[in-house]
Amino acid sequence: MLLSRVAETVYWMARYVERAEDTARIVLTHTNLVLDLPRQIRLGWASLLTITGSDEEFYTRFDNPTEERVVRFLVADPKNPSSVLSSLASAREDLRTTRAVVPRAAWEALDDGYRFAQGQAALGISRRGRYDYLRRIIEHAQLLTGLLDGTMSHDRAYDFLCMGRALERADMMTRLMDAGASNLSPAGSDDTEAFEDTQWMGVLRSVSAYQMYRRHVQVRVTGPQVLAFLLQDKEFPRSVLHSLERLEECLRGYGRSEAVLHILERAREMVSEANTRRLASEGLHEFMDSMQVVLGDLHDVLSTTYFRAEEPLRASVAA
Amino acid sequence: MPIRWENYPVSGVYDELIAADGRPRRAARQLSQYLASFTDQDLRERQAAAELAIRAMGVTFTVYSEEGGIDRAWPFDIIPRVIAAVEWRRVKAGLKQRVTALNCFINDVYGAQRIIKDKIFPQALLADSGNFRSQCMGATPRHGIWAHICGTDLIRDLDGTIYVLEDNLRVPSGVSYMLENRLVTKRVFPELFQHHHIAPVDGYPSRLFDMLASLSPRQGHPPTMVVLTPGIYNSAYFEHSFLAQQAGVELVEGRDLVVADDDCVYLRTVDGLERVDVIYRRIDDLFLDPEVFRADSAIGVRGLMRAWRKGNVALANAPGAGVADDKVVYAFVPDMIRYYLSEEPIIPNVPTHVCIDKQQCEYVLAHLDQLVVKPANESGGNGMLMGPQSTRKQRSEFASRIKKNPRNYVAQPALRLSTAPTLCSSRLEPRHLDLRPFVLSGGNGYVTPGGLTRVALKRGSLVVNSSQGGGSKDTWVVDDEDV
């Protein structure tokens, strides 16, 4: 038996942890990119706000998106509800209310991670300390994921936890690809071509996918191939398709799942039918946007089905 | 330097471990001898080990502040409080007797009201009792039991007599700390448990489970049982979640429950609605059901009282059970025991003068400088007069308050609470304490061996409340008969 409230809380807990991890990865990717690119290509920081969907939140409080400001906003700003720090704080609060279903060690790991993120925030914003800080955040999140996988019963609460993680990961993956590619000038321009490889390698590295890509794709790193790998690869655990299939697995054995499965199928079709060759040169941002809309729909229907089902309050339902 | 018990300052009070001549009491002899072999450093190390264990176990209580609730580690003193098994047998019988009578009383006042008709208990007291719930009239909970979980506070006076200070019949808390205290002590003094016959306390969660199951309206059907909490910001949330885990039932909030049109209570689950049989509620009466009590309650369940009155769900404790823990009603408990059980009370009440009685009121007014005056419906020591420490002005102020509203006041002699050795910056010093045993009543009964000992950590202080600098100790019921 699983309470709807508990299901929703662990679902969000997993989403927040994944969001913290992936936001850290996005900032890390962008920072590396800035370091790699030659001086004549000026890379702004404003695009990170668009990618993470936080333009409005940012510009109501600030006007000039400087590196320092954007990084602080995305990493350590307690007033930004989706900063790394806020995400960890929300995850911690969620875990606090569901300690009965989650192993104690997981609570301790998350608590440690949050305390680290909070205590060392100044380090995370500085360019010098950023790499180590964000790596540590990512490691904390990975540790928690591992602890849950290895010590929590794979029960219904775990199903919802995995659903939350899968959905957030798919969503953040689309944003991350967007982040890695959106700064490229149109293909073919002399200045940029030479750096394309560097840039796509950076994207792969940011999701720890470089080695797996090399092992499984066996062609040189190119935009279309990287997009195909991160969108459509069945085996790589951070690819969008993999996350969608994970979600579907979790739903197995649940009644009333038709509406969810329907949207899931739509999302899967979009991913499978994506023409990555074309997306590598144009329309990537729009495509990722529309993916995010479908993933949002998926969340909505999941919520209404399992978290706040307004059933007819009749005794017959109990059977 | 080892502890020299002859230098331990027992003065003018009863100490639980050390007699007035500086020699350990019989049941505490082994423990005292053992502690005497400790250096200050040893003691400090054990206390540090205990603090570490508490932090690792996540034992906390919540303190409110402007920024919201903060979890504080539970303050714990490593020196156990010892009670001889032979004394405990009497206390246990006394507690059972008392809670049985209290349940008879509650069942009676919401039913035939025989005790009023027989002029043992005044009608007027019931009418303006703050915890009487007219909405419960005529309800018939299973077994006739209303107070399923009772926490009774006991204190010991100078001459060694144990008294009941008060009965907590609404949502008494502290039992989780009793259980955790034992776990910590086992980690800190494992060697002591090999040589003592200490009554185990860890049976409580399964006794609680059995008791709750005995209340289920669907006997013969595996019951669905829940602990209903106000949520994580409640100061006792740790306990709610601990008990749910230990007893193996769900921890739920009001929004997880719904009363359907068949007047049954259901849980909202990912698979739809599931019928609930027993609710161990840790929410105050007035917040239980916005349909019947406070309409602005956001933590209750609409329709819960309907379901309960129809017998479709059991509530522990039953709504209205608090009628018997009013401080004026308390004064009548010995009479209740005589009336319902035809027995003499085994554990005495603290002698209590009720001002609603003219003669007693005159006595109180004449002896204000020797008495503690308490208002009937306040808790936590609010609005009290401590006679021996009071000024003339305070006394005359209280005298006029009492005359104005005699029903609202009771008075008791100022007792000298007993002490026990407590570690205070690596020295053992006497500190005042009380004891809260827990009594379960349902299809069968249970009394915890010992209970939660709360200790005032400040020298001379009588305040044992954890939010006001109180701590707690493990409580050992030690069988010393074959030692």
Q: Is the pTM of this model over 0.90?
A: no
Average pLDDT over residues A102-131: 91
Indicate the residue of B253, B259, B266 with minimum beta-carbon distance to A5. B253
pLDDT reading at A206 higher than 90: no
Q: Rounded to an integer, what distance in angstroms lies between the CA atom of residue B160 and that of residue B175?
A: 25
How does pLDDT run across B170-211, given as a tens digit for each residue?
999 999 999 999 999 998 888 888 877 899 999 999 999 999
A181 to chain B, closest Cα gap in Å: 40
Residue A312's pLDDT band, with cuts at 50, 70 and 90, is very low
Confirm if B433 and B473 have CB atoms less than 8 A apart. yes
Q: What is the mean pLDDT of residues B411-433?
A: 90
**Total tally of structural domains belonging to chain B:** 1
Range of the domain at B374: 353-413
Q: Which residues contact B37 (CB under 8 A, 6 or more apart)?
A: B2
CATH number, domain containing residue B360: 3.30.1490.270
A interface with B, Cβ–Cβ < 8 A, is: 1-5, 7, 96-97, 99-100, 104, 107, 156, 160, 254-255, 306-307, 309, 311, 313-315, 317-318
CB atoms within 10 A of CB B459: 11
Any domain includes B276: no
Residue A193 is predicted with a pLDDT of 61
Q: Test B272 with A3 for CB contact under 8 angstroms.
A: no
Q: Where are the alpha helices (DSSP H) in A218-252?
A: 223-232, 240-251
**Which tens digit of pLDDT belongs to each residue from B392-417?**
999 999 999 999 988 889 999 988 89
- CA-to-CA dists, residue A70 to A48, A49, A63, A275, B182, angstroms: 8, 7, 11, 32, 51
With respect to residue B234, please indicate whether it lies within any of the assigned structural domains. Answer: no
Residues of B numbered 307-366 whose beta carbons fall under 8 angstroms of chain A's beta carbons: which are they? none
Predicted local distance difference test score (pLDDT) of residue B475? 97
Mean pLDDT over the full length of chain A = 88
Checking if the pLDDT of B60 tops 70, the result is no
Per-residue pLDDT at B425: 79
Nearest chain A residue to B58 by CA: give it: A104
Tell whether the torsion through CA atoms of A105, A106, A107 and A110 is positive or negative: positive
Query: Is B359 domain-assigned?
Result: yes
pLDDT tops 60 at residue B65: no
Name the phi and psi angles at A271, rounded to 5.
Answer: -70, -50
Whether residue B387 lies inside any domain: the answer is yes
- What is the per-residue pLDDT for A317? 42
A317:B256 CB<8 A: no
Q: What is the pLDDT of residue B482?
A: 56
- Which alpha helices (H) appear in A76-154, and where do they start and end? 84-97, 104-119, 121-125, 127-151
- Count chain A–chain B contacts defined by CB atoms under 8 A: 71
The yes-or-no verdict on residue B165 having pLDDT over 50 is: yes
ipTM over 0.90? The verdict is no
B57 DSSP assignment:
H
Percent of chain A with pLDDT over 70: 91
Contact B302, B291 (CB under 8 A): yes
pLDDT of residue A316: 44
C-alpha–C-alpha distance, residues B139 and B137, integer Å? 6
- What is the reported pLDDT for B2? 58
- At B72 the pLDDT is 64
Q: Which residues pair with B266 in a beta bridge?
A: B258, B275
The answer to whether residue B109 is domain-embedded is no
Residue A131 in this model has a pLDDT that exceeds 80: yes
Asked if A314's CB is within 8 angstroms of B261's CB, the reply is: yes
- Which pLDDT band holds residue B213 (cuts at 50, 70, 90)? very high
> Are B108 and B138 spatial neighbours (Cβ–Cβ below 8 Å)?
no
User: Is residue B198, in this structure, part of any structural domain at all?
Assistant: no
Condensed to tens digits (0 to 9), the pLDDT of residues A255-287 reads 889 999 999 999 999 999 999 999 988 899 899
Residue of A nearest to B226 (CA): A3
Task: Identify the band that residue B380 occupies on the pLDDT scale cut at 50, 70 and 90.
Answer: low
Pairwise CB contact (< 8 Å): B266 & A313? yes
